[in-house]
Structure formats: C-alpha cells, structure tokens
Copies of this chain bind each other. A is one copy, B any other.
Amino acid sequence: MPPTTTDIILSSIVVADCSSLPSIDRQTSVELDKRYALGSDVCSFHSAPSKMLHDQWFRECVDAVLEEVVFKGTDRKNKVVNWKSPEELKDVIDFAVKRSPSTHENLMQHIKNVIKYSVKTGHPYFMNQLFSSVDPYGLIGQWLGDALNSSVYTYEVAPVFTVMEQFVLNEIKNLIAFNDGDGIFSPGGSIANGYAINCARFHKFPEVKQKGLHGLPRLVMFTSKDSHYSIQKLAAFEGLGSDNVYSVKTDSRGKMDTQDLEKQILEAIAEKAVPFMVSATSGTTVLGAFDPLLGIADICKKYNLWLHVDAAWGGAVMFSKKHRYLIDGIEKADSVTFNPHKMLTAPQQCSVFMTKQKEILHLCHSCNAKYLFQKDKFYDTSYDTGDKHIQCGRRADVLKFWLMWKAKGTEGLEKHVDHVFKISKNFVEKIKNRTDFRLVLPEPECTNICFWYLPKSLQNHHNSIDFDTKLHKVAPKIKERMMREGTMMITYQPLNDLPNFFRLVVQNSALNTDDMDFIIKEFVRLGENL
C-alpha cells in the first residue's frame, strides 16, 4: 500500500476563499492558509481541518438542494416557475465568470439563485414535456454515479457498471421479447434513433462504414409525419439527407397509415432509390399514438426493410400487463429506442438502444483503438464494451435506473405506469363533456392528452369563419399567463392544419384526480376574459 504522506498536500479540491466559510472562524482560516502556504484558495482533503471544511461545504449545499429543490420544489403549494424574462434574469443572477475566485457566501447565493429561477421539473404541475418528477432512487443513483465519476468503456475502469448494463439490457431484451440481441445506453433518444439508422444501413451495405455513402444508390427511409424530429435530424447528420426521410400519412388517431407506407416504398423503388428502413413510433410526441407494429412489420418483411421502433416515450408500457398490447409486434422489430427517463421518470438522461442482431453494434461502430481496447489484457476483454458506441467517455446512466428497478421491482414500475394511465383517463373523462374543453382525439392512447380550451367568447361559435384563427391565438395567451403566474406548465403546439392546442402529459405518479380538477379550474381561471 502507498505510504501515507503526513504533509499537507495540494489537492485537486480547491476551496476558494476558505476564510468565508461561516462556521470556521477567521483565525482558523488564516492558520489554514499559512499551513498550506499555497495561496488562500487552496486546501487539502485529508487533513482533519480540511476534511471538515469540505464536509461542511457538501452538507450545506445538500441541505439547500434537498430543502429547496427536492422538497419545496415538488410541493403543490409552491410555484413551478418563478418567471423572469432573459433580460430580467441577467439582472438578478450574476452570470459572469471572473478572473478572481468567489467567496463561499457568494457561491451559496449563486446556488440559491439558480434554484430560485430554475423550473421545478419535479413539481407535479410540470406537465410540459415528456419528462418530469423526482424519483428518490433515481436521484440517489445519479448522485452516486456523479461521485464515482466513471466512464463506461472498459471493464477495468467501470467493472460494476459494465456488468450492470449487461443485466439491465438483458431484462429489457426480455420485456420486448427479443430472442437475442444487444443493447447500449445512449445520451438521449435522438442519438439512439441515430444508432438505429446507422445499424440499418450497415446491415444493408456493410461497406458503408469504410467507403461511405459515396457511390451507393440513394437510400430512403420511412417514418410517419407525426414521428419525432430526431429521425430527420439524424438522417441529415448521418449524410442521408432529410429529403430521403419519406413522410408517411397518419390516420385520424395519429397512427401510421400502412397503406400509404407501402405506396411510398413502391414510389421510392420506382424512383430507383433503395428503401432500407422504417422507423415506427410507439407513443408519438404530441398525440401519443402507437403505430400499428404488426402491420408495419409485415411490410418490412415483404420489402426486406429494417424495422426500428422509436418507443422512447410509449415503451414504458412494456412494464404493464394491462397496457403492453399497445406495443404488440415490437418483438418483430430489428431495433428499439426506449427512454427510462421519460414515462418511468428516471433522471435525465437514461436512454436505451436495443437491436436484435447480436454483433451489429460492434461491427458497425468499432474502431479498435489500441490505447483503450488492448487485446493483451489479463481479463476477458469481451467486457470492454465501449467500442460499440460512438461516444468514447460515457456516463454510467444505467446506475440510476438499476437502483430504481431494484428498489421498486418490476411490479413497482408496473404500478407507476398503470397509475399514470389511470389518471390521464380520469382527465379525459372530466373534460370530454365540458363545453369549454374540446379533445383533439376522443380517446388518447397514451398519457399525453391534447385539447383546446375554449374561452367564453369562442364557445358556441364553432362555425364562425375566423374560429380557427381566433382559437389558434388562445393557447399562447393562456400559456403566457400560466408562465407569469407559475402555477403550472403545460405546453401547446399546432399540428398539421389544427390550430394551437394544449398537450398535458401525465407521468408523475404523484398526480391524483384532485390534481386533474385543479388543472381544469386553472384553465378556467387563466382563460377568463379571452
């Protein structure tokens, strides 16, 4: 074992201006400075007074985070957001970084300001996005992972997380009923969808890895017009071009129209292009639609196309016996994106990409860098999984999800999913017969519920010429009032020819039927006089 150096040593732990730590008296602080003799901003970790200083700093901050973010930030009594415009925010927070260090007093003030003016995404009434809530196991998993500060590329550096990934990915593989395959964690669903595109084209043209797309025929992929924009974005990033993502029609419920899919495949073939992939969606971003996977799988088989399922949002139903039917056919897919950081409320980011082909992630992405993936190591280097990824350094996103899963069991995750579905149905029931609310879809399939709010001035005027124009302006106005008051956050958007409507997303299992009543009342209040 290394010898213990008893001298005070320079630590990477640099406590700026120790003298300002409140309960270390000024004289102790000056004494410390003298002993370190390395400038007043440098302390060491393992001498007793320094450990005390550091411990105190950590405790003070953790107190603030727990009290202000985790507890007050999720309390219905408090606001979701304390709205400031960008210019106002620059006035109240001193954002500028400077040549000289801050005092600890100032630092704590900065931390408190960051908390004060940040949106409380763990608040039950933050229903603005496809993520929300604070899960205590997820959060602790995240904090532990941060402190261990690992990078999951080789077994020697990340032994625990390498094996943990294997177990969690294998369990997901079972849930989606892949009989074989492989998986990875990705920094978000967009990049996971990018992996799908790369695997699909490599599957068809393995030479693309070395030779690139130059000299290949024009490759075309298909996705519904309501699919996530990352499909287009990553197709562009990967050199395919956004025009080569053919947009397939959806039916009245927002589900991919399989007849139109086949028609477009035939058109692409007629154009001498080469179709290679369909990206179906389980839980679309706005309407929450589930594409008909079985029908799409048949078409993919017929035309020899890679079937990817973007189940980033709706994939959580794989945990629910009751709602699993929504993704029937997912077992026929070649690859799947699934984000535990969405409906299952793992902290950002936790995104999984699964493929049925055991070797393809490695074949398609490996580069065999000799400085990292040496083959003459003393352990089984098949555990060095980093080369399957396009990232090099990579956070252990598995840990938070593993801890949640361990804590609650599959049955706890199932209860969570069933609960958020139940509450969202409750909201639909409550608004469907009201004259001031109108559903975009009579029966939403997922826990996102789209609706218009009709202020008095628009009720019973559905047939007037400028109804849609007027209605289009209602949501932005209500949203502005909502943000300025900070009582809740629910997003709005247009879709196709439809005027702006709200999308409420239920994924926080703290939500109950009283909350749904509150939300309705809030709309009535905010929509007054419009």
Given contacts A39-B415, A371-B495, A510-B45, contact A118 B65 (CB under 8 A): no
Q: Does A411 sit at the interface, judged by CB under 8 A? A: yes
Whether A239 pairs with B236 at a CB distance below 8 angstroms is no
Whether B239 pairs with A238 at a CB distance below 8 angstroms is yes
Q: Which residues of B contact A339 (CB under 8 A)?
A: 393
Whether B100 pairs with A411 at a CB distance below 8 angstroms is yes
Given contacts A86-B380, A341-B393, A348-B393, contact A213 B239 (CB under 8 A): yes
Q: Which residues of B contact A162 (CB under 8 A)?
A: 86
A210 to B245 CA separation, bound complex (whole angstroms):
9
Q: Does A432 sit at the interface, judged by CB under 8 A? A: no
Whether B102 pairs with A69 at a CB distance below 8 angstroms is no
A204 to B203 CA separation, bound complex (whole angstroms):
29
Whether B119 pairs with A150 at a CB distance below 8 angstroms is yes
**8 Å CB contact of A212 from B241, B374, B511:** B241
In chain A between 445 and 502, which residues have their CB closer than 8 angstroms to a CB of chain B?
A: 473, 476, 479-480, 483, 487-489, 491-495, 500
Q: Which residues of B contact A215 (CB under 8 A)?
A: 218
In chain A between 214 and 234, which residues have their CB closer than 8 angstroms to a CB of chain B?
A: 214-219, 228-230, 232-234
Q: How large is the interface on A (under 10, 10 to 19, 20 to 34, 35 or more residues)?
A: 35 or more
Whether A133 pairs with B239 at a CB distance below 8 angstroms is no
Q: In angstroms, how far is the closest chain B Cβ from the Cβ of A387?
A: 9
Q: Does A149 sit at the interface, judged by CB under 8 A? A: yes
Whether B408 pairs with A136 at a CB distance below 8 angstroms is no
Q: Mark A119-154, 1 if CB is under 8 A from B, else 0.
A: 111101100110101111101101110111111000
Q: Which of A139, A189, A198, A286 has the most CB of B within 10 A?
A: A139
Binds B, one of A25-33, A108-116, A254-262, A290-298: A108-116
Q: In angstroms, how far is the closest chain B Cβ from the Cβ of A427?
A: 15
Q: Does A37 sit at the interface, judged by CB under 8 A? A: no
Whether B514 pairs with A5 at a CB distance below 8 angstroms is yes
Q: Mark A36-78, 1 if CB is under 8 A from B, else 0.
A: 0001011011100001001101100110011001110111110
**8 Å CB contact of A146 from B7, B57, B146, B522:** B146
Whether B76 pairs with A409 at a CB distance below 8 angstroms is no
Q: In angstroms, how far is the closest chain B Cβ from the Cβ of A355?
A: 15
Q: Does A266 sit at the interface, judged by CB under 8 A? A: no
Whether A157 pairs with B119 at a CB distance below 8 angstroms is yes
In chain A between 332 and 376, which residues have their CB closer than 8 angstroms to a CB of chain B?
A: 339, 341, 345, 347-349, 365, 367, 369-372, 374, 376
Q: Does A243 sit at the interface, judged by CB under 8 A? A: yes
Q: Which residues of B contact A151 (CB under 8 A)?
A: 121, 129, 131, 348
Given contacts A9-B514, A348-B395, A494-B370, contact A487 B163 (CB under 8 A): no
Q: Which residues of B contact A489 (CB under 8 A)?
A: 156-157
Whether B135 pairs with A390 at a CB distance below 8 angstroms is no
Given contacts A75-B46, A508-B12, contact A241 B214 (CB under 8 A): yes
Q: In angstroms, how far is the closest chain B Cβ from the Cβ of A527?
A: 15
Whether B10 pairs with A411 at a CB distance below 8 angstroms is no
In chain A between 145 and 181, which residues have their CB closer than 8 angstroms to a CB of chain B?
A: 146-151, 155-164, 166-168, 171
Q: Does A430 sit at the interface, judged by CB under 8 A? A: no
Q: In angstroms, how far is the closest chain B Cβ from the Cβ of A490?
A: 11
Q: Does A383 sit at the interface, judged by CB under 8 A? A: yes
In chain A between 60 and 110, which residues have their CB closer than 8 angstroms to a CB of chain B?
A: 61-62, 65-66, 69-71, 73-77, 79, 81, 83-86, 89-90, 93, 95-102, 106-107, 110
Write 10 A-B pairs (CB below 8 A) sorted by A numbering: A13-B510, A73-B148, A93-B163, A118-B159, A119-B150, A120-B148, A208-B241, A371-B493, A374-B492, A378-B479
